Structures are given as C-alpha cells and as structure tokens.
Amino acid sequence: MSQIIAQLKKSLSDTLNIFYPFSGSIKNNLFIHDFDTSVPFSEARVNCSMFEFLKHQETDLLALFVPYRAFCKETDTTIGQVAIQLNIFVCGGIAIGLSCSHKIEDATTSSAFLHSWAATFTGSPEKVLHPNFSEGSTMFPPRDSLPQKHIDTMDNLWFKEGDYVTRRFVFHDKAIATLRAKAKSELVPKPTRIEALTCFIWKHCMAASKGISAGLKKTSMAMLVQAVNLRARMKPRLSDASIGNIFWWAPAAVDLTMEERELHELVDLVNAAIAGFDTDFEKNLQGNEGYLAFSDYFDQLEEMFSAEIKPDVWAFTCWLRFFNDLDFGWGKPFWIGIMGKVGSAFRNLIMFSETPCGIGIEAWVTMDEKEMAILENDPEFLAFASLNPSILLPL
C-alpha cells in the first residue's frame, strides 16, 4: 500500500504540472495566482471493510471521505483549487475523495483532470488529456473586476441558511421508460431520460414546497435551471480539454398560482429552454459584448430576488458518463458517491449519476428537511423512485 500511495502522490504532482492553475490560490475572488501553492493530499483509514460500509447505505457519512464539505463557500482562499483524500478500508479497498473549487472546474474539467491523473498513474501518457487554457478565455475574456452586486446575487441564489438534507433516489430502467412515455408530447415526441427525470422530480419538489408553504404565500413562482455544457454549442466547438467553468443555466419558470402542470408540459418548457442554446444565443455570450449579456441577466436575477416574495429555484445537473470509466489500474469504479451531508446554507440541487453496474440512474436531491419529508413519503413519487436502495446489489 505504501508504494501505491507514493505513486499516487508522484503521478498527482506530474498531473498538476500541466493542470498548473489547480495548485494556485484565489486572489480578489477573480483570479488564480501563485501556482506553487500546492494541493492538499491526506490519507484516512476506514475502520471497516468497503463491503460493510456500502451495506449500511449511510450516504451522509460520505462527507467524511472528502477533504472539505461539499457545496459550501470557501473559507480559505490560500489553498489550491483541488484537494485529495485517500480513504483506505481494512480490506484494502480504496476510495479516492475529491474536493474542487467551482471557480475553475465544472464536471468536464474535473473529468479531464481525473482521467489525466489516472493515465499518468498507470503509465499511459497517450491517454493524458492536455488542458487548453486559451479557448475558454478567448471566448469569455477575463475582466479586472466584477460588480459586487453580481457576486451578492449569486450568493442569494444558491446560499440561504436552513436545515437541508440530501437523499439518494434510484430510478430503475423500467421506471424511466414509463416516465419517458408519460413525458412525450407533440413538441417533444422522444424526451431523453434526463428530460423525463428532471421534470418528474421538479414536479414533485414543487408539490412538496407548496405543501409546506400552504397558506403562507411563500412564493408564487418556481424556477428550474438546467446546467448546459457550452463547449459543444460554441461555434467553433470547444474541445473537452477546454478548462474552466464553461457552462450556463437554461431557465424555465412555472406560475404556482396557476393549475398544476402535467409532466409533458414541463418537459416542453425545459426542452425549449435548452434548445435556446442551439440558436444564436451562445454568440451573445462571447467576447466583450458577452459581459453585457451576463450583466443584464444578473440584473434580472437581482430584481427577482429583491422582491418580497422570492421564487423557488431548483438546479439540475447531470454527471452521467463523466467519471464511471475512471481506471487507476484497479478497474473501473464500483460506485461514484456524489456527496454526504451538505452545509447549512446550500439548497435545492439535484444531481444525476450512474448506478452500480450502469443500470438505471441515481438522483441526489438536496432540499429543505421539511420538504424532503413530504417528497420521500409521496406515493406517486415513490411509485417510480426507490429511496436509497442497496448499493451492493444490481437493480
């Protein structure tokens, strides 16, 4: 084991030589500098076998397997942009925990980094994905400053003190097929698996929120924002080696005072929002003029969140096919755990990932504890979703 640990550290160091901004620190919440800051690498001994841990299905404990708590504001800007924790079970099994800053990494960038580290570790230089740091900054030129109001708006959008919990739901292939059939319409005759699941979960999250806020007039609008990878939508197309946070949100909104929307109607809304990126929209985001478009978007958000009654915002992102084929020489991962217990300020996030054996889709849902209590006891929701089933057995 000591030889494996030494080689993991050596290969990580070699990988950081080409992904050098990852070992830099944040300056003024705008730039990464001092590329020799280094990256934390810690080791943890797990006092049970991997089989025993997975058998108990206590997903909150995943927070112990990563260096930093997931989805929270960084408190230390003097450290590198990634941190690694090597978790070693008594059986000899290994779980690699990664924490990374969303200031420089989206899922595509994290995937490129991890695959390159794995290729370096196994002595496969031909599989190393050499990062391209210029494409993203050419399309989206950096600025010397950003209005504080835009930074505050992002804080208001994602962070709000409360009691939040995360639950893992699994959708079997048969359930997904049924939902896709229910979700089809004249506008979207063949909805994707993610479109059907996204709108099904959003529909029931809205119902849970309304159940808590009944009579309180908590909000009159629900917004969905779907993460869209911009690389494939740029003209010319950006490669997957383009490093950065190169994604944007496709928004869809529903008036909660109106009659409840059917599943296929929500799919129509979300599909149209994502299709907007296939027009000239991405051109409006590029170059120096793109900043004006982003600024206008933030002004609209600021106005929305300055109202007395604020909208509910639900964010969806998909991690399918990003990490399930990582191979450090021991075979592909048995399972990718998304996160453990979240902080007390991050809310309303749904992440999709692979299931063990690649059968079905996992949805990791973070929301208010009281709303979650309604969702996880919703018979219509549970007719399609299984709450934290066994990780060890195929579905």
Please tell me the distance from the alpha carbon of residue 293 to that of residue 285, in angstroms, as a whole number: 6
Please tell me the distance from the alpha carbon of residue 79 to that of residue 98, in angstroms, as a whole number: 14
CB 64 within 8 A of CB 34: no
Beta strands in 181-299 (DSSP E): 221-229, 247-255
Closest Cα to residue 113, out of 124, 95, 123, 100?
Answer: 100
Q: What is the DSSP letter of 21?
A: G
* Residue 268 is a catalytic residue: no
Angle at 350 between CA 346 and CA 353, to 5 degrees: 125
Please tell me the distance from the alpha carbon of residue 303 to that of residue 68, in angstroms, as a whole number: 33
Instruction: Compute CA distances 78 → 35, 73, 136, 148, 357, whole Å.
Output: 11, 14, 24, 21, 39
Residues sharing a CB contact under 8 Å with residue 139, sequence separation 6 or more, in sequence order: 234, 238, 246, 286, 287
Q: How many CB atoms lie within 10 A of CB 221?
A: 16
Please tell me the distance from the alpha carbon of residue 50 to that of residue 20, in angstroms, as a whole number: 33
Please tell me the distance from the alpha carbon of residue 68 to that of residue 111, in angstroms, as a whole number: 19
CB 184 within 8 A of CB 200: no
- Catalytic residue chosen out of the listed positions 14, 34, 102, 378: 102
* Residue 33 is a catalytic residue: no
Residues sharing a CB contact under 8 Å with residue 281, sequence separation 6 or more, in sequence order: none
Closest Cα to residue 364, out of 330, 387, 346, 380?
Answer: 387
- Catalytic residue chosen out of the listed positions 14, 34, 240, 327: 327
Please tell me the distance from the alpha carbon of residue 340 to that of residue 144, in angstroms, as a whole number: 36
| Catalytic site positions | 102, 327
